[in-house]
Amino acid sequence: MTQQTPNNPGNQQPQRYTRPKPTQPRRVSGGVRLAGREGPLIRTWVGRRWTRVIEDAAVSEELTKGVEYARIGQTRELGLEPGAVLARVQGCEARARSVRLECDTFTHEQWELVFRALAEQPAYTAKLLAGEMPVNIEDLFAPMGLRLFPQEPEDIKAVCDCDEEAPWCRHACCAATLFSERIDTDPYLIFTLRGLPAEELSERLRQHRALAGSTLGAAPAYAPRPVSGADLALAKLPVDVETFWSTGPELDLLEMPMKRPEVSHPLLRRLGPSPFEARFPMVGLLATCYDVISEAAIRAEDEAEAAPIEADWDDVGGGDDETDERPD
């Protein structure tokens, strides 16, 4: 009987089959995806600023894959909490990856300084209460050494539980790309990212504006005597029934200049999105109607103001065309 040597093929163990690593992401049913077909749909400077920081932070290859993940809907969950964007992104592996995009939050003392500054700037407060982000909002934060929006790659810390060494992996880029559309549509989210929810922001804006406009703590030198009804001298109303509902000459003296508001569509912004589902957004249709009506009103006002001037010029030069007929 011959003894088998270690080099004998009869002693070799069969090799285990190793499944190749998948190269395509596992498709997600009903995942969060971009509104744009080719990339994020960005319309405002808020979304562009966020996108620019992400482009500076991420490697182009990972960013391209992350945008593709966002386009085809590979994100199972996308949320926001004070100080961080949260997401679960499904890649090539069986388990979805957890992503956090963290930003530094402001302290209570820093927020108090911000609201005091806002109370002294009515234009900022009016636009914020109307849901519009002022373009120069950073000018308010700069004197306090703060920045509302991230400006450098270091301002956003990307954390993912995948095996990639670089923090800005495709999963983080996917979450950041999706959030660029969210913050572009709702710029108030930046305040939540800095530690203050939007509901609390609106409430504190109203409170600080009310306190700034009041004379809190100032006592009058004397208390005036309440005026009774007998002390009021009321003007007598006309008794002529035929002219009672007619307008007086004072109506022509009332000036109502037509001008565009400082905040576009303030009432629609306060109402927010319509609760009814439709093929076209109700708020967008109403905004278009308001713009058309406003432009027509302003144009009519301009034409009315220009009409007397044209008539005067016609009167000045009209004598050249008239025939001077005199009796013989």
In a domain, 49, yes or no: yes
Alpha-carbon gap, residue 28 to 37, rounded angstroms: 17
Coil, helix or strand for 272? coil
- The H or E element containing residue 76 is strand 75-81
Alpha-carbon gap, residue 176 to 40, rounded angstroms: 10
In a domain, 236, yes or no: no
When mean pLDDT is compared across 74-83, 123-132, 318-327, the lowest value belongs to 318-327
In a domain, 77, yes or no: yes
In a domain, 133, yes or no: no
Residue type, 4: Q
Coil, helix or strand for 158? strand
Name, in order, each residue with C-beta under 8 angstroms of 96's C-beta and a sequence gap of 6 or more. Answer: 76, 88, 89, 90
Residue type, 104: D
What are the DSSP calls for 163-206, one per residue?
S-SSSS-HHHHHHHHHHHHHHHH-TTHHHHHTT--HHHHHHHHH
Name, in order, each residue with C-beta under 8 angstroms of 197's C-beta and a sequence gap of 6 or more. Answer: 82, 191
What average pLDDT does the structure give for the chain?
A: 79
List pLDDT tens digits, range 280-326.
Answer: 667 777 878 888 888 888 787 777 766 654 544 455 444 444 444 44
Q: Which residues constitute the domain of residue 94? A: 45-106+146-196
Predicted TM-score of the model (pTM) = 0.61
In a domain, 98, yes or no: yes
Residues 156 and 102: beta-carbon distance below 8 Å: yes
* Domains: count for the chain: 1
Angle CA 46–81–172, to nearest 5: 65
List pLDDT tens digits, range 209-266.
Answer: 666 555 444 444 444 455 555 555 556 666 777 777 877 777 777 776 666 666 677 7
In a domain, 314, yes or no: no
In a domain, 52, yes or no: yes
From 9, 174, 151, 147, select the one nearest 75 (Cα to Cα).
174
In a domain, 318, yes or no: no
